[in-house]
Structure formats: structure tokens, C-alpha cells
């Protein structure tokens, strides 16, 4: 036996893998998945194209992983917002706001995650991602129903509607064709989305 993977090597490989992921992330942030070329990613990461295939089965797999990671970051943020103090309705509102504002702040990535046409494996990740949001919302709606601040309803269905309403409202402004003006912090768009959603949920105007 002459070669055996050592800690040093494991670390170096992990670093290369991470660099590839980071550079892919960067490319996607610039122009979405479709325009992210393997050669470009390899160039940025300072590895050969072949090396990318030592770390990922295929372009699609690499993209699926990057999608998943980007998604996890977003979900974490929304989860944090859901854990702020307040009743379920208030926390849900904070979460919707967090979601929307983050999307408007990183519009290309948000568009890629929400609406860019992608290959099947990545699309699968997207379905999972949307489901994850719906799950979070659903749980909180159930809490709200127990607490009494949200009326009895089909929590799963309502959470799906929430995800759809927000996504649709953002896709227009996020779309690459739509020239993006500066996003002011307290966007009235976000308020209007939230008003509709909370009303759909609670049946209460404010």
C-alpha cells in the first residue's frame, strides 16, 4: 500500500469542491443557471473542466447542489423570522416580509430559484424548496389556529397559496427583462403582497 487518502488531501479536495460551488454560485448570481458555462466556472475556480467532474457527476448535479445550498440559506432566514416573538400571525407576516425583501435584494438569484427554466434535476430541487416553504408556513398556520389568531382552515392549502402569491408577485419585478430600479427598503410592493396574504389567511382587513 503506497497511497492512502490523508487528512491534508481530504481538506484540499474539500476546498476545491467548495471553490467550484462558490464560483458556480457567483455565475448564477450574475446570469442564472442557463448561462453558467462549465468552462467559465472552471476558469473562475482555477481548475480544469475535468476536475469538476471529479467532484460532481454532471453539470445538472452541480447545479442541483448549488440550488439546494442557496435554498437552504433562504429557508434559514425565513425560519429565523418565524421564530421572532409575537403570535403566529405576526410571525408569519415577518416571514413573508423577510422572504420578499431578500428576493428583491438579490434579484437574479431569486429569479433563478423561483422562476428560471431549469433542467429536471434542478426543477426537482425547486419543488422541494417550495414545499419546504409551504411546510414552514403550514406549521405556523396550525399554531395560529390553536392560538386562535388565525381562523380554522385548510392549513396546507393556504400555505401553498401563500407561496404562490408571493412568488408570482415577485417574478414580475425580478424578471430579467424588467429593468430593476433601486429597491427602496420599505417597498410598497411588499406591503401590498403581505396585505393580501394576511387577509387571505385571517379574513381580517386592517
d(CA 125, CA 174): 20
Residue 60 binds which one of DNA, a second copy, none, with CB within 5 to 8 A depending on kind?
Answer: DNA
- Contacts with DNA in 53-82 (CB under 7 A)? 53-54, 58-60
Helices 155-174 & 107-114 angle (0-180, nearest 10) = 130
The cell for 77 is 432566514
Best CA proximity match to 163, nearest among 127, 123, 133, 206: 133
Residue 150 binds which one of a second copy, DNA, none, with CB within 5 to 8 A depending on kind?
Answer: none
Residue 39 binds which one of a second copy, DNA, none, with CB within 5 to 8 A depending on kind?
Answer: DNA
d(CA 193, CA 52): 41
Cβ partners under 8 Å of residue 97, min gap 6:
81, 190, 194
DSSP secondary structure letter of residue 87: -
Of all residues in the chain, what percent are helix, strand and coil, respectively (each to 5)? 75, 0, 25
For position 206 contacting DNA by CB under 7 A, the verdict is: no
- Contacts with a second copy in 174-203 (CB under 8 A)? 175, 177, 189, 192-193, 195-197, 199-201, 203
Among 106, 123, 142, 187, contact with a second copy (rule: CB under 8 A): 123
Question: Binders of DNA: how many residues, by CB under 7 A?
Answer: 25
Chain positions contacting a second copy, by CB under 8 A: 117-119, 123-124, 127, 130, 151, 153-154, 157-158, 160-169, 172, 175, 177, 189, 192-193, 195-197, 199-201, 203-205
List of residues contacting DNA (CB under 7 A): 1-6, 8-9, 12-13, 16, 37-39, 46-51, 53-54, 58-60
Amino acid at each position: 500500500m503506497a497511497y492512502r487518502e490523508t487528512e491534508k488531501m481530504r481538506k484540499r479536495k474539500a476546498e476545491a469542491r467548495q471553490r467550484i460551488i462558490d464560483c458556480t454560485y457567483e455565475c448564477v448570481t450574475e446570469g442564472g443557471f442557463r448561462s453558467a458555462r462549465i468552462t467559465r466556472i472552471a476558469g473562475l475556480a482555477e481548475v480544469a473542466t475535468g476536475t469538476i467532474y471529479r467532484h460532481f457527476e454532471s453539470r445538472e448535479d452541480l447545479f442541483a447542489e448549488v440550488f439546494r445550498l442557496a435554498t437552504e440559506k433562504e429557508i434559514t432566514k425565513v425560519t429565523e423570522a418565524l421564530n421572532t416573538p409575537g403570535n403566529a400571525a405576526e410571525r408569519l407576516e415577518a416571514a413573508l416580509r423577510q422572504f420578499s425583501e431578500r428576493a428583491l435584494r438579490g434579484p437574479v438569484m431569486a429569479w433563478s430559484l423561483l422562476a428560471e427554466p431549469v433542467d429536471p434535476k434542478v426543477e426537482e430541487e425547486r419543488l422541494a424548496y417550495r414545499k419546504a416553504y409551504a411546510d414552514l408556513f403550514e406549521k405556523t398556520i396550525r399554531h395560529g389556529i390553536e392560538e386562535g389568531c388565525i381562523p380554522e382552515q385548510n392549513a396546507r392549502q393556504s400555505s401553498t397559496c401563500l407561496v404562490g402569491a408571493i412568488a408570482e408577485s415577485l417574478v414580475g419585478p425580478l424578471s430579467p427583462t424588467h429593468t430593476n430600479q433601486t429597491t427602496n427598503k420599505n417597498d410598497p410592493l411588499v406591503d401590498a403582497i403581505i396585505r393580501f396574504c394576511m387577509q387571505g389567511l385571517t379574513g381580517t382587513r386592517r
